[in-house]
Amino acid sequence: MVEGRDGIDEARTALAAGRLVILPTETVYGLAADAADPAAVAAIFEAKGRPRFNPLIAHVADQAMAERTAVFDDDARKLARAFWPGPLTLVLPAADPSPVCDLARAGLETVAVRMPAHPIARQVIAAFGAPVVAPSANRSGRPSPTRFADAVEETGAFAAAALDGGACEVGLESTVVALLDRPRLLRPGAVTRAQIEAVIGPLAEAEADAKRSPGRMARHYAPQAPLRLDAAAPEPDEAYLAFGPDAPQGPRVFNLSPAGDLAEAAANLFAHLRAADRTAPRAIAVAPIPKSGLGEAIDDRLRRAAGFVG
């Protein structure tokens, strides 16, 4: 397996051969494959142990590739201009013919598409010349890898190449917005509801289209230990995900943001979940975290990890 910050050509060659590649993005590390190749997509599902009905996101290098992948309307182009490259996924009608195979779209007539901000990801996709699907490079249901070593530990055995892009800047999967009838927020993320609504107006709730979005399983992003949310302090034998300057100290305390900064907390969330889980606690207690802005996305991931969201 080719590893390291270089290896753009090796990654392109692996993708063209139907092999998998661990790819850095600004959100989390992805396990990438040719979006048009059903056998390669099936290899992702096998590597992740992922349910076949969960659609994958097609990652593109530029707007021209995006327009060959999906049918854009005015709202979609407005959001792309405002937030791409970046952590926003748009669910749109699939182009016909589609460069994203039926298996990757979970049999839907729609496609999820985004343009990642990480330069290595875009260089690989541009060199390959077509969209790649790249769900998080972890076993299904496990915390998403935001560091190269975690990605390799999770799914490196299945990858022909692995590119080290450093720690992920955002640390949460992308916001997902469906633009099919009326705009709907399917998954909160680093691009907040308020930011999106400032560009295209009010967003409807997600229930009708939830199946179209990745990451909507009830128990998702889960460590081995159970989670106890909104905990003021840890109980004996618990690890603790703290938040803010007044947190307790200790070997099993992992502070998402000593400064109380939600962006820092998001970037640290999955890495700290993994670190807490490695202490083999009876449970992982999680401090109360504000649920406004980026906190909505953090709360969504924590509730899924705890199994509270369907």
pLDDT tens sequence for the chain (310 residues): 767 667 999 999 999 999 999 999 999 999 999 999 998 998 998 898 866 667 899 999 999 999 999 999 999 999 999 999 999 999 999 999 999 998 898 888 999 999 999 999 999 999 999 999 999 999 988 899 999 999 999 999 999 999 999 999 999 999 999 999 899 999 999 999 999 999 999 998 766 555 566 655 555 567 889 999 999 999 999 999 999 999 999 999 999 999 999 989 988 998 899 999 999 999 999 999 998 888 988 998 899 888 865 4
* 51 and 142 housed in the same domain: yes
* 148 and 188 housed in the same domain: yes
Tell me which residue range forms the domain holding 234: 227-306
Task: Give the span between the Cα atoms of 226 and 35, in whole angstroms.
Answer: 34
Does the residue 221 lie in any domain? no
* 168 and 89 housed in the same domain: yes
* 163 and 271 housed in the same domain: no
* 192 and 265 housed in the same domain: no
* 76 and 148 housed in the same domain: yes
Does the residue 185 lie in any domain? yes
Pairing of strands 57-59, 132-133: antiparallel
Does the residue 222 lie in any domain? no
Does the residue 87 lie in any domain? yes
Q: How many domains does the chain have?
A: 2
* 207 and 249 housed in the same domain: no
- Confidence (pTM): 0.84
Give the CATH number of the domain where residue 111 resides. 3.90.870.10
Q: Which of 180, 212, 244 is the last residue of a domain?
A: 212
Does the residue 272 lie in any domain? yes
* 27 and 87 housed in the same domain: yes
